[in-house]
Chains A and B, each alone.
Chain A
Amino acid sequence: MWLFLATEVLFFGGLFVAYAVLRMLHPEVFAYASHYLDTILGGINTLVLIASSFTMAMAVRFAQTNKRIPLIICLLLTLAGAMGFMVIKYFEYTHKIHENLIMGPGFYRPVDAQEATIAMTDPGEPAPVLKLDSSLGAPAVTPAAASQNIIGIPLPAMDRTAVVSPLAGPSGVVDLAGTPPAERSQYAEEALREVPTADTPHLLDPKLPVNTHQFFAIYYCMTGLHGIHVIVGIGVISWLVWGAFKGRYNSNYYTPVDLVGLYWHVVDLVWIFLFPLFYLIH
């Protein structure tokens, strides 16, 4: 079992190395993007996992001392902790996906326009991207300008207006064509004033560092792999509950409870490191 746990440590270890390298290359990305993660939800999840680790350790003890009913109760509490963790994780993930804080090129597509674009184009065709109207005085987008913090919003083909915004700086253009004229400037000002939080549209943020999508790539890889381990944990703990109901475990035979316990503690250990590395950085 301990050799298996060692392979688990190495399994996650590769991703921790990737995290360290990415963070070394782009420290500003991690400092910025961490604000999009909800520290309170992450902290609650940490406490939930610690509590479930505690009940798991108690379950091992109750198996060793032939206490069947307390064993079942402790295993069920551990199961509840595992499921609670996944429920909170589900809310975190869906919120981020809704805000387009995702991995891959979709990170650079605005939320509302993306749905419209998907609905209105053939899957084979590239998404229609808004061409800037030079009569409005907006500078044409050059590759050099594109490498700066420009917001390009792919829009449905019929809507082709663009506005120049104070958001975008001298060479940049912000398209707020989807916003009614009266709300445009207010929207832009709010986006400028706000410190990034989970509710700020990231593409409107002038301080968005280059390559911010990398943070979310490593975030989803690491928390995703951890989430898969939690789901596996739910499976094996359920199996223990079944065995405990049948009265299989006693002071002569409690190895399954002990080993699943060890696995569950390693899942807890990984989260103990993931939490500060993603949620607690400036």
Chain B
Amino acid sequence: MHSTTSTHDSHAEVHPLVGHLVPVSTLLLTGGALVVLTVLTVAIHYVDLGEANIYIALVIASIKAALVGAFFMHLRWDRPFNLLVLVAAIAFVVLMMAFSMIDVDANSFAFDQGNPKTVQNYLDQNAKFAPITAK
């Protein structure tokens, strides 16, 4: 992709007031790549690779996200500060996710104790056989 996108669009010089004009070819290639990756990820889903499946799917999703961000959202040509804002937000989500998972993993015995009494009473009345209470 990089060889096609680094060529500057000639219109950018004609309209100095506008921001970066993303070339049509770049947009088409990005859209095409997104479609191909979507078909690919669905196809791989039908092959059972065990644990690896979800990681492959997430890697493909990340590539698609990077393509959308770089070209559709023209981050590639923006000031780096915009990218910093987005990456920082994602990084904090990942940080929160990591700490939540570490915490829950260490204390998960405390999460499977069943429902509080009021909740269980409600379930007993309204969804008698709901197997919600653990153990």
The interface of chain A, by Cβ under 8 A from chain B, is: 2-3, 5-7, 9-10, 13-14, 16-17, 20-21, 24-25, 39, 43, 46-47, 50-51, 53-54, 56-58, 60-61, 64-65, 105-109, 126-127, 129, 141, 143, 146-152, 154, 210-211, 213, 251-252, 254, 258, 261-262, 265-266, 268-269, 272-273, 275-277, 279-282
Contacts and interface: CB of A to CB of B under 8 A. Distances in A.
Nearest to B60: A276
A126 B125 contact: yes
Contacts of A276: 41, 45, 54, 57-58, 60-61
Contact of A5 (B24, B86, B105, B123): B86
A7 B89 CA distance: 8
22 contacts: A9-B90, A10-B89, A21-B104, A24-B108, A50-B31, A54-B34, A54-B72, A57-B72, A58-B27, A105-B127, A108-B127, A108-B129, A109-B127, A127-B125, A141-B129, A143-B133, A252-B17, A262-B73, A269-B69, A272-B68, A273-B65, A276-B61
Contact of B92 (A13, A150, A213, A280): A13
Given A58-B27, A151-B129, A24 B101 contact: yes
Contacts of B126: 105, 126-127
Nearest to A105: B127
B131 interface: yes
A280 B21 contact: no
Contacts of A20: 97, 100-101
A155 B82 CA distance: 59
Interface string B113-133: 000000000110111111111
Interface residues on B, range: 35 or more
B31 A17 contact: no
B2 interface: no
A213 B119 CA distance: 15
A146 B42 CA distance: 38
B61 A6 contact: no
Given A5-B85, A105-B122, A129-B128, A13 B96 contact: yes
Contacts of A10: 89, 92-93
Given A61-B27, A147-B135, A43 B42 contact: yes
Contact of A9 (B28, B58, B86): B86
Given A43-B42, A146-B131, 7 more contacts: A2-B82, A3-B85, A105-B127, A146-B128, A154-B128, A251-B17, A275-B61
Given A24-B104, A105-B123, A280-B41, A6 B53 contact: no
Contacts of A266: 73
A99 B101 CA distance: 32
A108 B128 CA distance: 8
Contacts of B15: 64-65, 251
Contact of B19 (A5, A46, A64): A64
B30 interface: yes
B21 A39 contact: no
Contact of A61 (B17, B24, B39, B48): B24
Contacts of A268: 68, 72
Nearest to A127: B126
B128 A39 contact: no
Interface string B21-53: 110100110110011001101100100101001
B69 to A, nearest CB: 7
Nearest to B85: A2
A53 B68 contact: yes
Contacts of A2: 81-82, 85-86
